[in-house]
Homo-oligomer: A and B are copies of this chain.
């Protein structure tokens, strides 16, 4: 597996990893390609082909061992390093993100949370204390944060993106509707549920 995965394969492996992790939490020990297929909205032949390319073959009537498949996919995707996340915005959305178990399950942890509202600064969000937004750049450098999550009002998003990029953050998850301008080495992923809905509606209602 020295070659770089294609975009499609990496996306599907991330989806399978999410499903396997969920299944394990629900107490399952094995899973069939048909079940993975149902949960992933990917056809079962594709699932078997993806998994067989790195030597994993499900047993007929038993399926795949969840634990070993998780380890395998984690190794391929190079996960498992503890990636530090800087979260900006401690409002409803930021709180929802900070309290989600989804990050921890995949070796991500929120290392710091920032806000510019004096009523929130110094307050507690899970085990973290909300820090002032003015310290984003210096704190990200200190923490070696590679991922930044922007969960602020749209009007603050560009300024926050600048501070995160200045602090060495390489991947921004933008939950606002603001189009962000960032240096070439920084990648922005915009999370907009409406975009996914448009796409889903096109496929299932037309």
Contacts and interface: CB of A to CB of B under 8 A. Distances in A.
Contact of A97 (B101, B102, B193): B193
A93 interface: yes
A191 interface: yes
A30 interface: no
Given A105-B177, A177-B25, A205-B146, A18 B195 contact: yes
A53 interface: no
Given A96-B93, A190-B18, A102 B10 contact: no
Interface residues of A, number: 63
Interface of A: 4-5, 7, 10-11, 14-15, 17-19, 22-23, 25-26, 39, 41, 77-79, 83, 91-93, 95-97, 99-103, 105-106, 108, 146-147, 149, 170-171, 173, 177-179, 187-206
22 contacts: A14-B196, A15-B195, A18-B190, A19-B179, A22-B177, A39-B190, A41-B188, A41-B189, A79-B202, A92-B93, A92-B95, A96-B96, A101-B177, A103-B197, A105-B194, A106-B198, A108-B197, A147-B197, A170-B205, A171-B201, A187-B200, A191-B196
